[in-house]
Structure 1
């Protein structure tokens, strides 16, 4: 809301330069576009963009200021070694954590239920606009002992500030004594990117523990400790390791002076030595007994006033009110989910998805050897490619930067190309301009051939979470182009405006809503597509060149001789590049394989590009994409449809060198349906609906199974995509069922009935597991509904917020057609 006030004021000034003549409209649009771009950068500059941490704030600037929070229970020696919290981990003994309210432009509230340390941590974060460097920000950290905590729970809390830019240091501006600081602690610095700034950690409130040990004359528990360092910038992210090193030095000194049998209590032993000064890394440490509260106040030097605790209190209240109002407008759950418990659940899902947006910067590992084995042209190619990878011809490339949401804070704190399109679907409803910023960031990673690495492991911090065998990226490996789902939805929103809105003096003076500026002003949205389009086309041609399937060599009969596709990166057990990892495929692998899911993705891609090309005025390209889509639509039948099985199937070449279908009923079998590539009156649609709704095949009380219950591979081996329910695929199914239900066609009744049942099953499954465990999960058990695999998977599982916001079709009579809605 504060940024909205700034935006209105800025545009009111700009409006004095806008003349009410048609000849000036292009100039007006350019002015508005530039101003919206500037204000977007301002409102999105700062954030908790370190989602791998429980709480860490940084700007979207490489090699800049970073901060982080750590805490630990220090009331006994037995637990303390494993009690320090910093990076999100699955084994930290959490009873749930995450953002209950969060808007990327304004801030929100995060609760961390640390059952292991017997304390609940609350982090309230807000942005305060002003000046020319993204404004200021503030955070309030509160701790409340849990009901089972000891009466005098001792907790040490550490906050650090670090400067990643070489040569840029931070000074301690406060005055203390040799044992620490009595009041607030202030730091000042100057950055090329941020200008002058000040960061204050307040004294806070809360009881301090006592001790009568002789060391109390050296380590005063009533004081705040500051320890400053100068260290190599590449190690700044290793705050926990640095803390342990410094604590060990202190422990060694204590044992040397007092002996192990006369050591002070742990809340004094695990205390840093007070050494404030100039440096590029500073720890601030406090020790509390019982509940506590402290503020962190960052003030941009370009702002008119310093940020205060009163500002923080006011903005927290305003942010909460704004979030609740907007959630009601955008995502209010519809029947039968219109009770408060589902609303709270939906707010949590959306907030954690948005709160998982991060800024990443660094080099990644790429193998650009283009070894001939990577063409996968020979039988036994998977063995050849394994040998080529074993030659280890990878190199570091970059640095690159990425602004992206993530699948899971503890387990996948990095960008995933095929996940991101699903992540952005709810975010686009909430804030389309933020979404477009993220899409642009992804396409800025594209190389000259049109390749984007499917997994973005940028820098040493990101690589620390990834086994070495999964770090290397290969420029011939693809991933499902899900970002086009978002761009297609954006194009449809633009289309609905029908060009009726335009930029003018009145609009400039009234201000523009940043969250929807590119839709409210279609000319800006079209300009965005026009700028992005060359990269989209380059990616399309890269797919056509690198992921083609062979039709001619095997005398296959098909409507089109060009439209067939095969994922590269196949092994006997996996096609990791498909995103469906261990889903059963033809055996043994063969260079003549064709994959129905990739064919479907390419159909969706061509359909989306045709709409975009039409918007940007390229009719010849529209014809090209429509021709591709026509070829795919026919070849899906000619090359992949099995009438006897009643579904689409992967294809391979048999022992007689003949084209043959290999049918493993599951997600792959219904892909053309999932992506809306079938006409509403197509008889094949009825067979797919029957398969989807069969409880002995795909339908379960908890969602659509990834593989048929009748399959010999059901639940076998890794059982990753061989039975579990995945929310992203169920979301596609729910949306497609609704679309077919509201279109005129012979199968609309069947689609509507399945839509109602599946929507209810999915929402209840995710909600019940969240209520029981405190987490969203990567996948769900089709028999029990229990969450499985990765916890705190608030990536595409958060699509449930969109599912709840869909209507229940209670108005549906079977006579409606889509155009009447």
Structure 2
């Protein structure tokens, strides 16, 4: 889909018209969508780069930008060249301190090995058409001899017929300030200027070649295929490596003081100019440096005309984002506020736009009775597809995850409701028209595949994941419906955009238009999920006291003896040995969430027949949770399997932990259920799940506790803890039907659990500077992937949105 930048005059007129009439009539749908496209057009959408910019929904001729850096005073400089985010770089810190994808933000990078503290400011003009980046650097250790050699690269994709990117002034070597001009069908004409503000170029030692002078800005233009722009680091290493070989072959010894010049890029092969540009600046860290990169679209009337104007944009943007955060999250503790804002900023700073093909195996057949690892050995490229998505971790998981994304959106929607819907809609658009399937991981193109082990690159339409997107959608619909009669319940949003970022929540007409477009695909998706994961109940029917609803029983297809990857809780204990007739309580619970969401959408669209159908299914799901999966002996929900040697035949597979809690956590129990007390007891029991850092994933008394990978067999995961806290609010904040003993225990549990999670995550962040994938259940220390600001960012909701205690 091609998106042209809109004429600013139209935006001004549209904004004026809206402000005049927003209280008397519904929002202009076309105008709202134009605003959304404009305000989200540019951003650092290359999630896997430390700093990489591209436009959203421009697929044929996107402009691509990236940043690399190194300390070129050492022979091993190229080995420490930073580009794609990598845990092995072991940076002391990297990430956004403040960020809003509609405005911009500030990112800090502490690279001890390269002895540089980088600060990157990125902000956009109000019309969304133009942007600037200010790169500032200073030494971490001022006594250490070092440089920061920064390499910017940019490419105007699409070849030279319909697009180009060329240097504006004569291509004279060594000009400190560089200007380029570009053209692309989707963006029109644009200019780029790179201007120094301060700093000293490295000038020690004599250049070994006229084109190898680190005391000047180096520029090189060449042609790079569009699908290889992302390997700019490899290209740079190859070009510089060849240059070094030529130098060393003609010189016996190179004075170390000249190393920075040796690592300067040059066009030794006389490549003709192309759309790809390297621009290298090597600063002596005896003094801090600062320079700007400014992009201006010629059709915009809000161009960034100077660095002083950009300075004003930075000041305005930082204040604006801070005010918006304070307006959304009311956090009194200043250090907790800093922690929460940085964590949210890194979640939103990881939002990426992905475009490319995916690998799908539609040939391999699944044998219901085969539980060995399934090899997807018949991949075919399909697409290209496009996705606008958060990522769990820029370093380790820079791609879209279906199971993670719903949790991401539970957080994003609290800051920018409409942004959350925009991301959700992108996922929904990928639901296949004929089958209703969407991949559990969206790994689009070679750039995304480069971060995925080969065994996990191929997707299969038989394998599902928890439909958390429908969980988020259900929450959004509940909020929107509740807001219809009380638009001011969350406080007035700052009126600095022509539209608020809560239009879908405040304007039911707009929500209905969007929901109508989505609903047919969601019907397909619902049918695919329930049909593909439906289990068999015939063996159990004669051995339960109540009537089973045979169509509402499910299991995860694709589990093995050791793992159930489709469930999302990979190594959580399941029935041993596996059986084709086993039924999984969490699969049924997630179907309940899907069904509830479909019922709410049908209600919004006034589809009475569909609403009644899904209401009946939802009722059946809730009843089956109790009929099939409640174990009165262990007083919790359990998977079930077949035991041919038992009179009962049905065997409960009880491993008390997150799966036991999901019907509660997903709010599928009735508020007056007598079973609530047992789950409160389970969560409160320090001999089982309760720890000083959150709820452990598996009971300490379980035989599988701390065995195998110890992934979902002990550690504290914030996504499930958040659901449990939110469910405690739902069931016990204003519940007068529960017995007083359970009510008191639930409120005590809530207060201590909330406090334990906040204090521990803050402690780890204050010490390490990062949020983690999960937390050790014994020490509270971060474990798993570092800088995991995916669903762990839900701590921001825990601090700033959930009440401090239940009343």
| Superposition TM-score, scaled by structure 2 size | 0.92
What is the correspondence of 1:432-451 to structure 2 with a 5 Å cutoff?
A: 432-447=417-432, 448-451=434-437
What is the correspondence of 1:329-368 to structure 2 with a 5 Å cutoff?
A: 329-333=327-331, 338-368=332-362
Whether 1:484 aligns to 2:477 is no
Equivalent residue, structure 2, for 1:455: 441
1:631 to 617, 620, 629: 620
Whether 1:47 aligns to 2:43 is yes
SS in 2 for 1:189: strand
CA contact (8 A) 1:227 1:276 kept: no
Alpha-carbon distance change, 171 to 807 in structure 1, aligned in 2, over 3 angstroms: closer
> Which whole-Å deviations, capped at 9, do the CAs of 1:592-612 have from their partners, x for residues lacking one?
010001111111211121111
Equivalent residue, structure 2, for 1:720: 711
CA contact (8 A) 2:15 2:498 kept: no
Equivalent residue, structure 2, for 1:464: 450
Equivalent residue, structure 1, for 2:326: 328
Whether 1:752 aligns to 2:755 is no
CA contact (8 A) 2:137 2:290 kept: yes
1:428 to 393, 413, 417: 413
1:278 is displaced (CA, Å) by 3.2
Which blocks of at least 5 consecutive residues in structure 2 are unaligned? 1-5
- Structure 2 distance, partners of 1:452, 1:284, is 40
Equivalent residue, structure 1, for 2:631: 642
Equivalent residue, structure 1, for 2:190: 197
Equivalent residue, structure 2, for 1:142: 136
> Which whole-Å deviations, capped at 9, do the CAs of 1:547-600 have from their partners, x for residues lacking one?
101012554544312110001111011111110000000011111010001111
- Structure 2 distance, partners of 1:659, 1:689, is 26
> Which whole-Å deviations, capped at 9, do the CAs of 1:47-89 have from their partners, x for residues lacking one?
0001111101110122411100000011222x42422110111
CA contact (8 A) 1:705 1:723 kept: yes
Which range moves more in the overlay, 488-497 or 646-655?
Answer: 488-497
- Structure 2 distance, partners of 1:786, 1:449, is 43
Equivalent residue, structure 2, for 1:775: 770
1:789 is displaced (CA, Å) by 1.2
- Structure 1 distance, partners of 2:227, 2:567, is 34
Alpha-carbon distance change, 530 to 306 in structure 1, aligned in 2, over 3 angstroms: closer
What is the correspondence of 1:263-274 to structure 2 with a 5 Å cutoff?
A: 265-273=258-266
- Structure 1 distance, partners of 2:723, 2:426, is 25
CA contact (8 A) 1:170 1:279 kept: yes
> Which whole-Å deviations, capped at 9, do the CAs of 1:172-228 have from their partners, x for residues lacking one?
112353xx2323111111101111111111134211222343526442333111111
Equivalent residue, structure 1, for 2:559: 570
Equivalent residue, structure 1, for 2:548: 559
CA contact (8 A) 1:740 1:748 kept: no
Whether 1:419 aligns to 2:414 is no
What is the correspondence of 1:445-594 to structure 2 with a 5 Å cutoff?
A: 445-447=430-432, 448-498=434-484, 512-556=498-542, 557=544, 558-594=547-583
Alpha-carbon distance change, 633 to 209 in structure 1, aligned in 2, over 3 angstroms: same
| Superposition TM-score, scaled by structure 1 size | 0.91
- Structure 1 distance, partners of 2:22, 2:443, is 49
Which range moves more in the overlay, 47-56 or 556-565?
Answer: 556-565
1:306 is displaced (CA, Å) by 4.2
Equivalent residue, structure 2, for 1:123: 120
Equivalent residue, structure 2, for 1:175: 170
> Which whole-Å deviations, capped at 9, do the CAs of 1:441-493 have from their partners, x for residues lacking one?
00111112111100010000111111111011000111111112221122122
Which blocks of at least 5 consecutive residues in structure 1 are unaligned? 813-821
1:395 to 377, 380, 383: 380
Which range moves more in the overlay, 269-278 or 561-570?
Answer: 269-278
What is the correspondence of 1:666-815 to structure 2 with a 5 Å cutoff?
A: 666-742=657-733, 743-744=735-736, 745-746=738-739, 747-809=742-804, 812=807
Name the count of aligned residue pairs. 778
Equivalent residue, structure 2, for 1:369: 363
Alpha-carbon distance change, 111 to 16 in structure 1, aligned in 2, over 3 angstroms: closer
Equivalent residue, structure 2, for 1:816: none
Equivalent residue, structure 2, for 1:815: none
Alpha-carbon distance change, 807 to 511 in structure 1, aligned in 2, over 3 angstroms: closer
1:749 is displaced (CA, Å) by 2.0
Equivalent residue, structure 2, for 1:287: 282
> Which whole-Å deviations, capped at 9, do the CAs of 1:265-309 have from their partners, x for residues lacking one?
211111111579631211000110112111000011211364221
- Structure 1 distance, partners of 2:445, 2:418, is 27
- Structure 2 distance, partners of 1:19, 1:67, is 38
- Structure 2 distance, partners of 1:807, 1:408, is 25
> Which whole-Å deviations, capped at 9, do the CAs of 1:109-154 have from their partners, x for residues lacking one?
0001112212111110001144xxx5110000011111x3544421
What is the correspondence of 1:216-227 to structure 2 with a 5 Å cutoff?
A: 217-227=210-220
- Structure 2 distance, partners of 1:466, 1:585, is 27
- Structure 2 distance, partners of 1:260, 1:587, is 66
1:683 is displaced (CA, Å) by 1.7
2:591 to 599, 602, 612: 602
Whether 1:33 aligns to 2:29 is yes
SS in 2 for 1:237: helix
> Which whole-Å deviations, capped at 9, do the CAs of 1:615-646 have from their partners, x for residues lacking one?
10111111111111111111111111111111
What is the correspondence of 1:29-178 to structure 2 with a 5 Å cutoff?
A: 32-60=28-56, 61-63=58-60, 64-77=62-75, 79-130=76-127, 134-146=128-140, 148-167=141-160, 168-177=163-172
Alpha-carbon distance change, 248 to 604 in structure 1, aligned in 2, over 3 angstroms: same
- Structure 2 distance, partners of 1:615, 1:157, is 53
SS in 2 for 1:398: strand
- Structure 1 distance, partners of 2:708, 2:394, is 27
Which range moves more in the overlay, 775-784 or 277-286?
Answer: 277-286
- Structure 2 distance, partners of 1:72, 1:263, is 16
Equivalent residue, structure 1, for 2:3: none
CA contact (8 A) 1:563 1:628 kept: yes
1:514 is displaced (CA, Å) by 3.3
Alpha-carbon distance change, 809 to 75 in structure 1, aligned in 2, over 3 angstroms: closer
Whether 1:297 aligns to 2:294 is yes
> Which whole-Å deviations, capped at 9, do the CAs of 1:470-521 have from their partners, x for residues lacking one?
011000111111112221122122212336889xxxx9x9985331111222
- Structure 2 distance, partners of 1:281, 1:111, is 27
Alpha-carbon distance change, 166 to 510 in structure 1, aligned in 2, over 3 angstroms: closer
Alpha-carbon distance change, 195 to 606 in structure 1, aligned in 2, over 3 angstroms: same
Alpha-carbon distance change, 51 to 6 in structure 1, aligned in 2, over 3 angstroms: farther
CA contact (8 A) 2:53 2:65 kept: yes
Alpha-carbon distance change, 527 to 88 in structure 1, aligned in 2, over 3 angstroms: same
CA contact (8 A) 1:11 1:511 kept: no
1:326 is displaced (CA, Å) by 1.1
Alpha-carbon distance change, 261 to 210 in structure 1, aligned in 2, over 3 angstroms: closer
- Structure 2 distance, partners of 1:469, 1:332, is 44
SS in 1 for 2:505: helix
Alpha-carbon distance change, 16 to 442 in structure 1, aligned in 2, over 3 angstroms: closer
- Structure 2 distance, partners of 1:365, 1:16, is 47
